[in-house]
Amino acid sequence: MNIEDAKKAVAKEALKFIEDEMVVGLGTGSTTAYFIRYLGKLIMEGDLEDVYGVPTSYQSRLLAIESGVPVVSLDEVDAIDVAVDGADEVDPHLNLIKGRGGALTMEKIVEYRAGTFLVLVDETKLVENLGQKMPVPLEVIPPAWKAIAEELEVFNAEATLRMAANKEGPVITDNGNFILDAKFSRIDDPLDLEIELNTIPGVVENGIFADIADIVLVGTSGGIKRMER
């Protein structure tokens, strides 16, 4: 199975978790994009009723609207039944690194509150230790970026300011902030580091999602593997 087929397969499988009258957290990224499209098709064809999506980014909001998923914001709902999102790394304990798409803050807000947080990945995302391949993104208040980058050296991390591809200068998040990508030499305790990074003044949120994923669906060449806590 190639990577795109693996993403499509887990996105289809995720539909089995959605029932009528559910509020669904809509993650960000290419894998979740397949899920949003498939969800919209079921809603448009009348196979699912009274399902609402809570987007985690402008990307997921625009795609949900285009695909026929009715959109509501977090402050309009009492609860989120299921949140569905991709990840950049998944360790054997279901700790995650997220935020390649820069939407980590709203993703964590929504996914933390979901009854079930379902993660969709292909097998290239599985790692033994977080930080093995990917940096940890931090959303930061713009004027603080340099001071925070320097402070991260204390953690043995090398931080770079994420630059935009189709605009001059840095990436600006949906919340109007910058992103620092911090490459750690080793992450021994993801929960501890997640909490510690958020104590640095100017850090809005970081991309370690420790202890919040409930189920991970992994698209592999041998089919879909399910990891659960």
Using the rule CB under 6 A, is 100 a contact of ligand 5RP? yes
Using the rule CB under 6 A, is 30 a contact of ligand 5RP? yes
Rule CB under 6 A: choose which of 27, 55, 131, 135 binds ligand 5RP: 27
Using the rule CB under 6 A, is 87 a contact of ligand 5RP? yes
> Is 49 assigned a catalytic role?
no
Using the rule CB under 6 A, is 85 a contact of ligand 5RP? yes
If the CB atoms of residues 29 and 190 are measured against ligand 5RP, the closer one turns out to be 29
Report 183-222 residues binding ligand 5RP (CB under 6 A).
none
If the CB atoms of residues 28 and 206 are measured against ligand 5RP, the closer one turns out to be 28
Using the rule CB under 6 A, is 86 a contact of ligand 5RP? yes
The region of 60-68, 79-87, 180-188, 218-226 touching ligand 5RP under the rule CB under 6 A is 79-87
User: How far is 128 from 52, CA to CA, in rounded Å?
Assistant: 35
DSSP character string of the chain:
--HHHHHHHHHHHHGGG--TT-EEEE--SHHHHHHHHHHHHHHHTTSS-S-EEEESSHHHHHHHHHHT--B--GGG-S-EEEEEE--SEE-TT--EE--TTS-HHHHHHHHHTEEEEEEEEEGGGB-SSTTSSSPEEEEE-GGGHHHHHHHHGGGTEEEEEPBPSSSSSB---TTS-EEEEEEES--S-HHHHHHHHTTSTTEEEESEETT---EEEEEETTEEEEEE-
Of residues 89, 107, 194, 205, which has the active-site annotation? 107
Number of residues that bind ligand 5RP (CB under 6 A): 17
Rule CB under 6 A: choose which of 39, 43, 54, 103 binds ligand 5RP: 103
Report 144-163 residues binding ligand 5RP (CB under 6 A).
none
Using the rule CB under 6 A, is 88 a contact of ligand 5RP? yes
Rule CB under 6 A: choose which of 14, 18, 25, 29 binds ligand 5RP: 29
Please report, for residues 8, 11, 143, 209, the alpha-carbon distance to residue 97 in angstroms, rounded to integers and kept in the order given: 21, 19, 25, 6
If the CB atoms of residues 117 and 145 are measured against ligand 5RP, the closer one turns out to be 117
Active site residues: 107
Residues of this chain that bind ligand 5RP (CB under 6 A): 27-31, 85-88, 98-104, 107
